[in-house]
A and B are shown apart, each in its own frame.
Chain A
Amino acid sequence: MKKDNIIKIVISIIVMLLLGYLAIFGLTIGEKTIIKGAKSIKTGLDISGGVTIVYQAEAEEGQEITVDDLEKSKAVITKRLEAKNIYDYIIRVDSNTNQINVEIPTDTSDTSVDPLAAVEGLDRTAVIQFRDSDGNVLLQGSDIKSAKYSEDAVDSTGIGKPHVVLTFSEEGQVKFAEATEKLVGKPMPIYLDEDCITEPVVNSKIDSSTAIITVGSGKRAEMEAIAREYAMLIDSGSLPFNLNVINKEYIGPYVGQQALDISVKAGVVALIAIALIMILIYRLPGVVSTISLVIYISILLLIISNTGISLTLSGIAGLILSIGMAVDGNVIIFERLKEELYQKVAYKKAFEKAYKNATSTIVDGNITTLIVALVLYLLGSGMIKGFGLVLALGVVFTLVSSLLVSRFILKQFMPMANKTTFLFGIKKEVEKNDTKA
């Protein structure tokens, strides 16, 4: 082993320890949390309970609330929740009483945070209208195909500013062109639920499929929050009626904190057990797989705690599967390596050949799983979407972990194969038998 190899191994171990530390404790400088640790991982409705809100649909005079309307508002609320990165929700519609019941996870022990902050805007009717100064409606929600948040530069200064980009439907584009032609030199206020959110002055006729809504000036964080909220509300469409909160209360978990505590303990024990099994079977490569597995799990935990995805039992299932697949990637490589070493191939060549053969296996196996995960994420809703997301992340990092991280570390250890095959799990007697055969 050269000095260079040893340095690289030491660096790998330091990276592992650093990532492991960050994943558990996070990074706090002064008062500010820069990276969230495992303690900040949100747990799901099933594990830590949450808040349940009952909305009463209120029809305007002469309006009748149909089952279709209720289903539509359910779809709107679903879209709004998912825009807020909340996948772990339950929405129940009761068509007898015209009530909609939404349950989302919150930290019930932390009473300093208003749980309703998380559901802010869910019940907004969100009717968007472009009007002229006399109050005539020129364009409305049905003319808008999509609304997306953006931070690109909107004027000649070239400085990015939070705003919303609207894309019109074909009909909407025609209406917009007509309206701007008529209103040259005049204001065209945009209303959201009777609040004027912006009042641009039309300079010339605009025949374009897109338009932007700026949110005035102020602190960047505030502007971003407002723009994101507008984008979420306009994009999800408007509710067919007004919703009033008639009941909100905390609900306890039905699985229980105990289940999470058990899972965490079991997870730690399982990690140690897997490490022992791998080291016992593969010796040095087993140590390599342990280092890359710790790095892998740390990265996954960091992503989960910092994106605010809540961890449910199904999420834990997805995690276990991806850990299984990460270990599998290493097993495939080490088995190949052993095959090559048994045939007395020089270690450098054995290493290259093992990786060459194992790569296609690992890529094919993981891509098939990735296909399933992506379909679940794109087509699923709620819990299934969350499961797909965790699994997809897991698979992508499995590829990184086995094809890059393990490879890098294992390469540094390979020169030792010249001196001793024992450390690579090659048994002496078998070696003799094989050479005889």
Chain B
Amino acid sequence: MTLKLNYLKHKNIILAISVLVVIAGLVYGFVTRFTLDIDFKGGTRISTELKEDYSVSDIEDIVKGVCGQISQVQATSAGENSVTITTQTISEGESNKVVEALKTKYTNMTEPTIRNVQASYGKELLNTAIIAVVVSIVLLLVYIAIRFKTLGYTAALSAILGLLFDVCFLFAVYGVFKFPINSTFVAVILTIIGYSINDTIIIYDRIRENKRLVTKSSDDKDVINESISQTMKRTIITSITTLTAIGIVLIFALVKDQETLKQFSIPLSIGIAEGTFSSIFIATNLWYSLDKLFKKGKNAKKA
């Protein structure tokens, strides 16, 4: 009843292709620039009272038409049909042009206030996220090294490398799809880290259990293949149920054309599929290779 395959057969090719894909995505992202949200980069904020009914998409179109920027339009309570329009930092000339264009459409609007927003909030969010992730990684290393002693320290190291791969992959996804880097991005990354480490641990757990059954084995290949096979059904079913949950959000978002939910559910769906992949083909593969290398080095020393 289990899918018995040799999961380690093409390990080096799979590893190489995966790393290349991520590097390509990252390079593409850096060359074509990542899209940073206003709180991560600073921006310009225009507040005004329109004094008449308006539609958000009209205003977005006006801003886009004048300076090519995507804007965020929020209603405020200050007066009659007040709005705050936020864009990436634009020059004074450009913001004046935006105001002119708005005035032609909304003739009664009041003189707007224009101010620049500093990027400190986003930077801080990213900084605390990075510190928290680094500390968690150190603690995870210690925990896995202790709980999975029989697998050697290389197991802990490989699990963490798998997580780093997840993070890089998601950065690449954001670079390619041009999703804005904002607090949602931070949440998606943290979610995938949580999902992927759980996946890796479950495979490790089975390897640990099966290694106890095998008395002496020169190569862990069979044990690993057996363990991945045995956990494969669980891996698939859990991925399907989790993907169902987030996939339904995605379908609703696509049908209703809800931009923010799309930005949230697309990378999350991709990330969950990728997290499953990385547990088997990055973390476990890497562990096998590193473990072999490590043992070889030890034997060489002995001899």
The answer to whether A94 and B118 have CB atoms under 8 Å apart is: yes
A384 partner, pick from B129, B248, B260, beta carbons under 8 A: B129
Which of the candidate stretches B13-21, B119-127, B171-179 sits at the interface with the other chain? Answer: B119-127
Q: Are B195 and A324 in contact (CB under 8 A)?
A: yes
Docked-complex contact B128 and A384, CB < 8 angstroms: yes
- In the complex, the answer to whether B260 meets A255 with C-beta atoms within 8 Å is yes
- Checking A274, A323, A342, A372 against B194 with a beta-carbon cut-off of 8 angstroms, the contacting residue is A372
Q: Given the complex of chains A and B, what is the CA–CA distance between A366 and B143 in angstroms?
A: 12
Instruction: Let me know if B242 and A320 touch, CB within 8 A.
Output: yes
Q: Is the CB of A368 within 8 A of B186?
A: no
Most buried by B among A95, A277, A380: A380
The answer to whether A262 touches B252 (Cβ under 8 A) is yes
Pick from A250, A342, A360, A366: contact of B76, CB under 8 Å: A250
The reply to whether A383 and B202 form a contact with Cβ atoms under 8 Å apart is no
From known contacts A270-B249, A317-B268, A371-B143, infer whether A382 and B77 are also in contact, taking CB-CB under 8 Å. Answer: no
Find chain A residues with CB under 8 A from B186 CB.
314, 383-384
B89 contacts partner chain A, Cβ-Cβ < 8 Å:
no
Partner of B191, one of A270, A318, A328, A382: A318
Interface segment among A85-93, A199-207, A401-409: the answer is A85-93
Query: A324 to B118, Cβ gap below 8 A?
Result: no
Using Cβ atoms and an 8 Å threshold, which residues of chain A touch B27?
A: none
Report how far A320 CA is from B237 CA in the complex, Å. Answer: 16
Q: Does A258 count as interface, using CB distance less than 8 angstroms?
A: yes
Assess whether A381 is in contact with B124, with CB atoms less than 8 Å apart.
yes
Verify A251–B84 contact, CB threshold 8 A. Answer: yes
Report the minimal beta-carbon distance from B99 to chain A, rounded to whole angstroms.
20
- Is A331 touching B74 in the complex (CB atoms < 8 A)? no
Contact B242 A327 (CB under 8 A): yes
Is A321's CB under 8 angstroms from B195's CB? yes
Neighbour of A277 across the interface among B117, B132, B240, CB < 8 A:
B240
- B9 CB-CB contact with A under 8 Å: no
Which B residues are CB-close (under 8 A) to A325? 194-195, 198
The answer to whether B132 touches A376 (Cβ under 8 A) is: yes
Q: Are A249 and B78 in contact (CB under 8 A)?
A: yes
Q: In the complex, are the beta carbons of A380 and B132 less than 8 A apart?
A: yes
Whether A365 and B198, one on each chain, are in contact in the complex, defined by CB atoms closer than 8 angstroms, is yes
Task: Indicate if B6 sits at the interface (CB-CB under 8 A).
Answer: no
- Whether B274 sits at the interface, judged by CB under 8 Å, is no
Binary contact track A384-420/B, C-beta < 8 Å → 1, others 0: 1001100100000000000000000000000000000
**B105 in contact (CB, < 8 A):** no
In B204-244, the 8 Å CB interface with A consists of 204-206, 209, 230, 233-234, 237-238, 240-242, 244
Check if B135 is an interface residue, CB within 8 A of chain A.
yes
B110, CB-defined interface residue at 8 Å:
no
Nearest-CB distance from B233 to chain A (Å)? 6
Interface size on B, residues (CB 8 A): 69
Q: Is B151 an interface residue (CB 8 A)?
A: no
A262 CB to nearest B CB, Å: 5
The reply to whether A277 and B241 contact each other, CB–CB distance below 8 Å, is yes
Main DSSP-derived SS at the A contact region = helix
The one of A52, A262, A342, A360 in contact with B258, judged by C-beta atoms closer than 8 angstroms, is A262
- Does chain A have a CB within 8 A of B106? no
Does the CB pair B202–A262 fall under 8 Å?
no
List A contacts of B230 (CB < 8 A).
339
How far does the alpha carbon of A364 sit from the alpha carbon of B204 in the complex, in Å? 10
Contact, CB under 8 Å: B120 / A93? yes
B139 touches A (CB below 8 Å): yes
What's the least CB distance linking B220 to chain A, in Å? 19
Q: How many angstroms from the CA of A339 to the CA of B234 in the assembled complex?
A: 12
Distance (Å) between the CB of A24 and the closest chain B CB? 19
Q: Which residue on B lies nearest to A378, using beta carbons? A: B132
Question: Complex: how many Å from CA A130 to CA B185?
Answer: 47
Give the chain A neighbours of B12 by CB distance below 8 A.
none
Q: Given the complex of chains A and B, what is the CA–CA distance between A224 and B136 in angstroms? A: 37
Q: Does B170 contact A (CB under 8 A)?
A: no
Closest to A315 in B: B187
Q: How long is the Cα–Cα vector from A323 to B242 in the complex, in angstroms?
A: 8
Q: Indicate whether B75 reaches chain A with its CB closer than 8 angstroms.
A: yes
Tell me whether B205 and A364 are in contact (CB under 8 A). yes
Across-interface contacts of A18 in B (CB, < 8 A): none
Check if B157 is an interface residue, CB within 8 A of chain A.
no
A281 / chain B contacts, CB cutoff of 8 Å: 237
Query: What's the least CB distance linking B119 to chain A, in Å?
Result: 9
Question: How far is the CB of B212 from the nearest CB of chain A, in Å?
Answer: 11
Q: How far is the CA of A256 from the CA of B257 in the complex (A)?
A: 13
Bound Cα distance A94, B121 (Å): 11
CB neighbours of B198 from chain A (8 A): 325, 328, 365-366, 368-369
Within 8 A of A (CB), among B139-197: 139-140, 143-144, 147, 183-184, 186-188, 190-191, 193-195, 197
A376 touches B74 (CB 8 A): no
CA distance in complex: A384, B147 (Å): 28
Tell me, yes or no, whether B246 is within 8 Å of chain A by CB: yes
Q: How far is the CA of A65 from the CA of B76 in the complex (A)?
A: 30
Residues A108 and B77 in contact in the complex (CB < 8 Å), given A270-B248, A365-B201, A366-B198: yes
CA distance A375 to B135 in the complex (A): 7
Q: How far is the CA of A372 from the CA of B201 in the complex (A)?
A: 14
Residues of the A chain whose Cβ atoms lie less than 8 Å from the Cβ of B253: 262
Among A323, A328, A373, residue most surrounded by chain B Cβ atoms (within 10 Å): A328
Given A278-B241, A376-B132; A361-B202 close (CB under 8 Å): yes
- 8 contacts across the A-B interface (CB closer than 8 A): A46-B260, A249-B82, A317-B184, A323-B242, A371-B140, A373-B194, A387-B190, A434-B1
Closest 7 CB pairs of A and B: A314-B187, A250-B77, A324-B242, A252-B75, A270-B245, A266-B249, A365-B198
Which residues from chain B sit less than 8 Å from chain A, CB to CB? Answer: 1, 39, 72, 74-78, 82, 84, 115, 117-118, 120-121, 124-125, 128-129, 131-132, 135-136, 139-140, 143-144, 147, 183-184, 186-188, 190-191, 193-195, 197-198, 201-202, 204-206, 209, 230, 233-234, 237-238, 240-242, 244-246, 248-249, 251-253, 256, 258, 260-261, 264, 268, 272
Given contacts A321-B194, A335-B237, A368-B197, 14 further A-B contacts (CB under 8 A): A91-B121, A108-B77, A266-B248, A266-B251, A314-B183, A314-B186, A318-B187, A361-B202, A368-B140, A371-B139, A375-B132, A380-B129, A430-B1, A434-B1
Show the binding face of A for B, using Cβ within 8 Å: 46, 49, 52, 90-95, 108, 249-256, 258-259, 262-263, 265-267, 269-270, 273-274, 277-278, 281, 313-314, 317-318, 320-321, 323-325, 327-328, 331-332, 335, 338-339, 342, 357, 360-361, 364-369, 371-373, 375-376, 379-384, 387-388, 391, 430, 434
